């Protein structure tokens, strides 16, 4: 049995080596996706994780001590990035060209209540940042008017924040590295199914069934080479994420408290992805059909599974729909390791869902191959 399996695997490897374009694409594609999408989304994730500084133009009408003090306090705050107004730029033009997010005008006499401090925000500024900036300006203005040196420090004695660190939103690398690695692993169904159909069309598969070889052994012989390719894919993508991408994306890639859990997660994810490939290979009727089914299926699973858009920012309906995708369970398992420092017992249900998907794919493929 082992000899037969070895020969089946050898045949599959030889077929893969003849196609000199497919294998490099399987490794180049996820690297390119990780690189460019991490760079493209760096700003969005950085804002969510570290807090975006709001670019503000501050203008003061008078030169009273309190006006200058308020100007100094606003400029020095960690949430504020003070910028100058380019010559000839109105407020609308400032916002249109992205030069500032807000304009603050401090009138003479604001401290005696005759004229309020005026604030104009960019209409497209995120509502959360707008509310935070408005609250900040109100607090600083009140502290200057009331003669309180540090309003925030005084308020801290009345309010204690016990919010836990947000562990639902990954960094760009924590999302992109496992996400696009999973996508590439499922995308392996394309070359697998095309190779399978070629064998069917040229009679190789039929000749295999004339030998004393079981359908299970044939599926296993086609599965293992691609399975090992999937494992190598993830290892290389992890190396890229840990050592190369932090040089370009200024956020380090963290492995989590239990990085050794990655072994079990990757073994199961690779089984699910190669199972998907075997199922497509068994169901398709032509190479064109197999290519369309595999690529479309992988893209749809990525869309629903939180690979293209993080589930953390999805509406509730989409979060529930995401659960129909095996890529969702795979990505969440990796997030448990990289982001949430979860115990293995928390990861097991996700691995169980992936194993169920893999076994279902193997069962369908076996039934189909048996009667081919």
Q: What is the pLDDT of residue 262?
A: 93
Q: What is the pLDDT of residue 28?
A: 84
Distance CA 176, CA 291 (A): 24
* Residue ranges per structural domain of the chain: 2-47+169-370, 52-156
Distance CA 302, CA 282 (A): 22
Is the distance from CB of 42 to CB of 204 less than 8 angstroms?
A: no
Distance CA 60, CA 109 (A): 11
Cα 152 to Cα 68, 140, 164, 221, 318: the distances in Å are: 19, 9, 20, 66, 39
Is the distance from CB of 144 to CB of 155 less than 8 angstroms?
A: no
Q: What is the pLDDT of residue 264?
A: 95
Q: What is the pLDDT of residue 50?
A: 45
Q: Which of 137, 150, 110, 116 is nearest to 56 (CA)?
A: 137
Q: What is the pLDDT of residue 45?
A: 54
Is the distance from CB of 57 to CB of 100 less than 8 angstroms?
A: yes
Cα 282 to Cα 55, 144, 165, 300, 363: the distances in Å are: 57, 74, 47, 20, 11
In whole angstroms, how large is the CA radius of gyration of the chain? 28
CB atoms within 10 A of CB 92: 11
pLDDT tens for residues 31-82? 888 888 777 666 555 554 445 678 899 998 877 888 888 888 888 888 888 9
Q: For the whole prediction, is pTM greater than 0.75?
A: no
Domain 52-156 has CATH 3.40.190: yes
Distance CA 239, CA 247 (A): 13
Q: What is the pLDDT of residue 260?
A: 92
Low-confidence ranges of the chain (pLDDT < 50): 48-50, 371
HEC string for 29-74: HHHHHHHHHHHHHHHHHHHHHHCCCEEEEEEECCCCHHHHHHHHHH
The residues, ordered by sequence, that sit 6+ positions from 152 with a Cβ below 8 Å of its Cβ are 139
Q: What is the pLDDT of residue 164?
A: 53
């Amino acid at each position: 049995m082992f000899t037969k399996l070895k020969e089946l695997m050898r045949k599959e490897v030889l077929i893969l080596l003849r196609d000199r374009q497919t294998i490099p694409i399987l490794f180049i594609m996820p690297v390119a996706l990780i690189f460019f999408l991490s760079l493209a989304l760096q700003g969005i994730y950085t804002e969510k994780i570290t807090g975006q500084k709001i670019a503000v133009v501050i203008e003061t009408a008078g030169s009273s001590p309190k006006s200058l003090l308020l100007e100094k306090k606003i400029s020095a705050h960690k949430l504020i990035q003070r910028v100058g107004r380019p010559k000839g730029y109105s407020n609308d033009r400032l916002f249109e060209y992205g030069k500032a997010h807000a304009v603050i005008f401090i009138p003479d006499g604001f401290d005696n209540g005759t004229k309020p401090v005026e604030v104009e925000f960019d209409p497209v500024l995120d509502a959360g940042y707008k509310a935070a900036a408005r609250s900040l300006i109100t607090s600083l203005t009140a502290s200057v008017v009331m003669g309180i040196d540090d309003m925030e420090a005084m308020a801290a004695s009345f309010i204690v924040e016990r919010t836990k660190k947000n562990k639902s939103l990954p960094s760009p690398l924590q999302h992109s590295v496992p996400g696009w690695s999973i996508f590439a692993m499922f995308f392996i169904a394309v070359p697998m199914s095309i190779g399978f159909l070629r064998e069917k069309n040229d009679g190789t598969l039929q000749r295999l069934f004339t030998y004393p070889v079981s359908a299970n052994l044939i599926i296993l012989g086609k599965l293992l080479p691609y399975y090992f390719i999937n494992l190598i894919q993830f290892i290389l993508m992890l190396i890229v994420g840990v050592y190369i991408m932090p040089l370009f994306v200024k956020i380090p890639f963290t492995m989590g408290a239990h990085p050794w859990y990655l072994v079990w997660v990757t073994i199961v994810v690779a089984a699910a992805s190669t199972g998907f490939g075997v199922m497509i290979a068994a169901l398709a009727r032509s190479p064109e059909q197999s290519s369309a089914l595999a690529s479309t299926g992988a893209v749809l699973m990525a869309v629903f599974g939180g690979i293209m858009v993080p589930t953390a920012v999805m509406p509730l309906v989409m979060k529930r729909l995401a659960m129909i995708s095996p890529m969702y369970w795979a990505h969440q398992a990796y997030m448990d390791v990289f982001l949430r420092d979860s115990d293995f017992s928390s990861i097991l249900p996700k691995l169980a869902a992936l194993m169920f998907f893999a076994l279902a794919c193997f069962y369908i493929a076996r039934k189909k191959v048996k009667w081919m």
